[in-house]
Structure 1
Amino acid sequence: MNIELLQTILGWCAILNIAILLWWFLFIVFARDWVYRMHSRWFTLSQEQFNTIHYAGIALFKILVLIFNVMPYLVLRFLI
């Protein structure tokens, strides 16, 4: 595996993960009640717990995408 291939893979992974993150965010913003109803069927959650879990999940996912996809991509981009 050469650096160009790794850079391409990291770039596409970053785009895919950012799209998933955006999709998750938009679902919580525009369809929060529906998502809450779906989750409350399976788990006993209050509105506050639901909001906290999703806010923390989105924040953690964003940080992990930045650390493991975007930063290595940018480092390889500036090395070449």
Structure 2
Amino acid sequence: MTIETLTTFFMWCSIINGGLLLYAVVIQMVAPDFIYTFQRRFFPINRETYETVYYAFLGGYKLLYLVFNLVPYIALRIME
């Protein structure tokens, strides 16, 4: 596998995962009540706990996105 192939792979991984992260943040900002009531159907949870869990999820997802997608892509771009 060449550096160009890996660079392209990590570029698309970064774009797709960045889009999913952005989508999750925008949905939470635009319609937090809708998302909470939708999730409440599946998990009996109060609002404060839901917000804590959701923001922890977003923080963890952002950290994983940076470490496993964006940093390798930047490193490969530097290596080229």
| TM-score past 0.5 threshold | yes
Q: TM-score by structure 1 length?
A: 0.97
Q: CA deviation at 1:42?
A: 1.0
How many aligned residue pairs are there?
80
**What value does the CA root-mean-square deviation take over the aligned residues?**
0.6
Q: Secondary structure of 1:42's match?
A: coil
Q: Which runs of 5+ in 1 are unaligned?
A: none
* Structure 2 counterpart of 1:76: 76
> What does residue 66 of structure 2 align with?
66
Query: TM-score when scaled to structure 2?
Result: 0.97
Question: RCO (CA 8 Å, sep 6+): is it higher in 1 or 2?
Answer: 2
CA deviation map 1:28-58 (0-9, x unaligned): 1111100100111111111111101110000
> What percentage of residue pairs aligned between the two structures are identical?
36
Which runs of 4 or more aligned residues in structure 1 lie more than 4 Å from their structure 2 counterparts after TM superposition? none
Q: Secondary structure at the match of 1:45?
A: coil
What does 1:1-80 align with in structure 2 at a 5 Å threshold?
1-80=1-80
